[in-house]
Amino acid sequence: MQRFVDDVLAVTKESVKTFTYESLNIIVRLINGVSALVLALLPGKANILEGIQGWELRPTFRGPRFPRWMENQEYLSGEEGEEEEDSDEYEEYPKTTLSRSSRVPRAAFADYGRHQTDWILIPLQFLTQFLMGLPFRLFQLVYSGVSKTRSISGCQHPSQPHSPNGVQSLKDQIIHRATDRRRGVIEDLHLAMEIFIEVVFDVIHKSIHVLFSPSEALGTLFRLFSSHERPILVDNDVVEDASVSSAPAERNTSFRSSLNTDARTCQDVITELGYPYEAIRVITADGYVLLLERIPRRHARKAVYLQHGIFDSSMGWVSNGVVGSPAFAAYDQGFDVFLGNIRGLVSREHVNKNISSREYWKYSINEYGTKDIPALIEKIHQVKTAELRLSKPDIEEESNDDQLYKLCAICHSLGGASMLMYVVTRRLKSKPHRLSRLVLLSPAGFHHDSSLLFSAVEHVLFYLGPILSRIFPAFYVPTRFFRMLVNKLARDLQHLPAVGGLVQTLVAYVAGGDSSNWVGVLGLPHYNMNDMPGVSFGVALHLAQMKRTRRFRMFDYGNAYNMKIYGSPEPLDLGEHYGLIDIPVDLVAGQRDTVIRSSMVKRHYKLMKDAGVDVSYNEFEYAHLDFTFSHREELLSYVMSSLLLVKPNSKKHQRTPRSRGKGQASVRG
């Protein structure tokens, strides 16, 4: 009779699983179909979606082809074969002493992802246990006692198919079947339903077992209550219970700590591909802790500094793998590569551990150009000078310049505006900027030619700024749960082409028709549960000031505070002081870029040309994010050719500074 009941429960359980799986799949197909219908009715979608056709966002970050529950051993073995092929390709990279020390095999990295426990909805388990209440715990204790009695009496089958840890072991089996770190919400729903069904049927099975074996249940209850009346003795049974109860606790600890989808850092990506890596902590003058990352060539006398833009991090420069990432391309050309990260992370790294959120986010673009970049570049100068003097004692005699190395900068979007601010303000202070060449990819600074939405945001920031600044000190995805949800939804959007295309089109409408791969970028690991780059309200207000005044100026604090900071009632106009730039500048614009239009980059070019700066201008058929997240060879070839124009031992040519302002301005502090 017991076997008959077990067979009935097994068939019923599989039927319920099939019904729930197919129901969810039907809903997903319906959503995707409706999205395809809506997408077909939207105008201008062809140009928007054309920018992401054939574009693999991260060739080295592979995702699962099918949901985990649909995979079998043949498929898994096939994927392992692919990993072995990848490992063979992996060995083709040039081996150096540093790269061998930091090399992480892809198989090991994939094995880490295979054993990492992803998000399986802990609140659902707690809710299930709460609903089951005391009867569930009672049945669990009864059945565990029965199982122990059977094992003591000489049962030849100690591992029962429905043991007390059956649900936990099932969860481990499901998790170990995963071959990718990232899973979407839909896959999580499938997994949660499977666990829930297993829990429910496990409770039903134990309840029926108690009904069929009441004597064993009463005996277990008697031993349970009698054990509370006598002192606790250290015997084999107690030791056995302790070992059984401690295992789930350890699993839950690791389970709670690994709820993230994909929290890989820039270091993980670099070392996974076999390149050396170094992390340097930099503290700014106002106490912000920045991360300067490096792909080191310690003996190289040419270095490159890469600065990201808004809502971005150093991950953007390595996200396309070896083939299309500027950081790896520069390293392969013999450069010592430095990746800068400016302030603005949700983790709020600061020397003052008790700094409030409002105080941390109290900054504008001024702090990027006058605090963050100076600290990062000075740290580069200290590191490079010390290393070169140590490795080559006679290097100062060979060099014709006070600086023992040449440093170029590649900057994108807001990073380009911050770098221009840095160079101009350093020249105004008569301090060295350490740079030999600038390559600015769609630099910010001028924004009056923009979409209607940006104009609306500008008016909102100006008229409601005093109120909004108290409510929203910064713009980012709040709480760990919502950041995890965004990353998982981005994963689902990549699996559902119609839904992803619809979201891509709607976001492009918001960005003025820009055809960047917005959906793919949301899936990058630097938008993860633990941390993400944010934008302070002061930065957004500063951009609105630039748009309204149609000038590339520093932050407007008001007449009184402007006099204290700039020495004049008006903020410093950086465009009027472009004549102070004494190094070559390469400006690059995107013909499809509607975030920073090519006309705005041409504005930079015209002012620099009029001021006598050695400047060049080029356009590519790119959208705004294509400059960092695309892997088209034409851009990399252009950037690398610009970097190679810098000669290692040439003397720096100092021009007489020229400015177009009414008077010589000064910057204090």
The 10s digit of each residue's pLDDT in 354-399 is 999 999 999 999 999 999 999 999 999 999 999 998 887 776 655 5
The pair of three-digit structure tokens given for residue 590, joined into one six-digit string: 């995107």
- Asked if 9 and 201 count as a contact pair (C-beta separation under 8 A), the reply is yes
Q: Are residues 320 and 458 in the same domain?
A: yes
User: Domain containing 614: what range?
Assistant: 266-392+403-465+533-645
Do 374 and 454 belong together in one domain?
yes
pLDDT of residue 665: 45
Instruction: Specify whether the backbone of 552 is left (phi greater than 0), alpha (psi in -120 to 50) or beta.
Output: beta
455 falls within a domain: yes
Closest by Cα among 597, 588, 596 to 619: 588
Answer whether residue 439 is part of any domain. yes
Residue 558, domain member (yes or no): yes
* CA–CA dist 52, 446 (Å, integer): 27
254 falls within a domain: no
pLDDT block averages, 10 residues each, the chain of length 669: 81 90 90 87 71 37 34 37 40 36 36 38 44 45 44 41 41 36 78 89 82 72 64 43 37 40 82 94 95 95 95 89 89 95 89 92 95 97 93 66 88 96 96 96 93 86 87 87 83 82 85 81 75 90 94 93 91 95 96 92 96 95 86 85 77 45 42
Q: What is the pLDDT of residue 616?
A: 96
Same domain, 280 and 198: no
- First-to-last alpha carbon distance for the chain, in angstroms, is 86
Residue at 55 is within a domain = no
For the domain that residue 432 is a member of, what is the CATH number?
Answer: 3.40.50.1820
Query: Can you give the pLDDT at residue 649?
Result: 53
Residue 352 lies in a domain: yes
Collapse the DSSP code of 531 into the 3-class scheme (helix H, G, I; strand E, B; otherwise coil) and give the result.
coil
Let me know whether 192 and 325 are in one domain.
Answer: no
The per-residue pLDDT for 438 is 97
CA nearest neighbour of 142 among 79, 210, 201, 94 = 210
Residues 195 and 332 in one domain: no
- Phi, psi for residue 232 in degrees, rounded to 5: -75, 120
Residue 167's closest CA among 242, 252, 224, 240? 252
The pLDDT value given to residue 397: 53
Whole-number Å distance between alpha carbons of 413 and 255: 39
- 603 by Cβ neighbours in 10 Å (0-12 / 13-18 / 19+) ranks as buried
Question: How many structural domains does the chain have?
Answer: 2
Query: What does the pLDDT look like over 209-249, one tens digit per residue?
Result: 777 777 776 777 777 666 655 554 444 443 334 333 333 33
Q: Are residues 198 and 328 in the same domain?
A: no
pTM of the entire structure?
0.71
Examine residue 515 and state whether it is found in any structural domain, yes or no: no
Residue bearing tokens 């504005």: 603
Nearest in space to 492 (alpha carbons), one of 72, 174, 116, 31: 31
Let me know if residue 297 belongs to a domain: yes
Q: Looking at the structure, do residues 543 and 639 belong to the same domain, yes or no?
A: yes
